[in-house]
Amino acid sequence: MPVTTSIADIPTISVDFLDPRFAADPYPALEEIRAVGPIVRNERSGYLMLTSYADCAQVMGRAQSFAADVEHLTALFGGTTFASLSGARHRQLKGIWAPAFQRKSLAATYPELIRQVIVDRAADSIARLRAGETVDIAEGFVRAIPAVVIASMLGVPSADIPDFVRWSDEMGHILENRDDPSTHGRALVAQGKQATDNLNRYMAAVIDERRDRPGGDLVSQIAVSEVPMTEAEVVAATTQLVFAGNETTAKLMGHCLVTLAAHPGQREVLRQNRDLLPQAIEEVHRWSSVKVATLRFVREEQVQVAGHELAEDTTIMALPAAGNRDPQRWERADAFDINRPRLAHLGFGVGPHACLGLNLARLEVEILLNHLLDEIPDWQVQRVDYGDSWMVRGPAEIDVALENARGGRR
């Protein structure tokens, strides 16, 4: 592809990501952007948007060349975390917890805990569904499951889970509304920052307690770590873990339940062959991405992206949800197919900044789907509300009924 150095050569389109219709279904807009070109300027923000898998992977995976949104990530967590760092310091901080999140470590320690959390949390909703009720399973149990799991791993009381969920939901406003100048947008950002303060105060108290009485939990691991860290970094790291450990996983769970209900034939294949669950989860995450957009900033004097040489400080918006449906990478990219050849997608990030908890998320979702395929394999989705979260997107409400419930579907 020929290289051009002129921003004026980049085509422009107007995209309103804050339009509620985008959160409900971003894919028509993403395909409009893709049709304009591989790199497109949004005239509303000035950001350069990328839609191909290769270009998104380039800017998301090369942290030295493309910096994360440090200012807003710091606001999100209340301090510097490995999410906003690169190089040796990133590896050092991420490495504190990396062993605990390896697949073998998780498989040896947590499956029974996760299974019990799911059985307990889903029991009431399943009983109501079998009685013929329509139930919001997002509120009923999906949203709480990852929060209960991560709280257990952190060694904090399950009674505090409602606060964890509320604070995590509110913290997301910091990123979602960073470019919304309206009074409502500014109020949501302020609400998000207050939620971060609340969670940081809570975790700071837990950290102090673990320094005095360390155990085998994740907070103890960082509280007594020999890695040099300021107190703000320790607190922010645990806040990041709470946020990332429950919000994104809950959204992926929701996508799986909605997607499989919309494809009952493939759901039935999974019911009969559970060995296909891991690849089905990856296909859901490819086809209905949790991470829709992420900002990066050019940190080299000149860097080439999508055939253009970009100047330092240029703001790029990678659109991994579009990259995950790139027709240059996947045949029938807009079709959901649990049997398609497996290729890496962008749902959990790429390179050094790939999600620390990806193995935990996969394990939780697989155990949840196994349980629901056993207990209510014919769930039908009556209504879905995606709320207003568009950068990190997932169902906020999922009204479900059973086709063959005792009282009939209502």
Q: How far apart are CA 119 and CA 134, in angstroms?
A: 19
Q: How far apart are CA 392 and CA 410, in angstroms?
A: 31
pLDDT of residue 408: 45
pLDDT of residue 88: 87
Report the residue count for the chain.
Answer: 410
pLDDT of residue 6: 60
Which has the closest alpha carbon to 85: 72, 103, 71, 67?
67
The H or E element containing residue 305 is strand 302-305
**pLDDT at position 4 over 80:** no
Cα-to-chain-centroid distance, residue 271: 26
Q: What is the mean pLDDT of residues 326-331?
A: 98
**Which pair of structure tokens corresponds to residue 271?**
């019911």
Q: How far apart are CA 198 and CA 216, in angstroms?
A: 25
**pLDDT at position 341 over 70:** yes
Q: What is the mean pLDDT of residues 87-105?
A: 90
**pLDDT at position 176 over 60:** yes
The pTM (predicted TM-score) of the whole model is 0.92
Q: How far apart are CA 40 and CA 317, in angstroms?
A: 10
**pLDDT at position 388 over 60:** yes
pLDDT of residue 69: 78
Which has the closest alpha carbon to 363: 100, 141, 169, 172?
100
Q: What is the mean pLDDT of residues 205-234?
A: 92
**pLDDT at position 259 over 50:** yes
Beta-carbon contacts of 200 under 8 Å, excluding residues fewer than 6 positions away, are: 78, 79, 235, 236, 239
**pLDDT at position 85 over 90:** no
Q: Is 315 helix (H, G, I), strand (E, B) or coil?
A: strand
Place of tokens 């960073």: 178
Amino acid, res. 164: F
What number of other Cβ atoms are within 10 A of residue 8's Cβ? 7
Q: What is the mean pLDDT of residues 150-157?
A: 88
Q: What is the mean pLDDT of residues 169-194?
A: 84
3-7, 8-12, 379-383: least confidently modelled range: 3-7
**Which pair of structure tokens corresponds to residue 351?**
């390179």
Place of tokens 């949203």: 143
Q: What is the mean pLDDT of residues 193-208?
A: 92
**pLDDT at position 407 over 70:** no
Q: Is 288 helix (H, G, I), strand (E, B) or coil?
A: coil
Tens of pLDDT, residues 10-31: 999 999 999 999 999 999 999 9
Residues 360, 342 contacting (CB under 8 angstroms): no
The arrangement of strands across the sheet holding 294-298 comes to: 12-13, 39-42, 48-50, 315-318, 294-298, 66-67
pLDDT of residue 31: 98
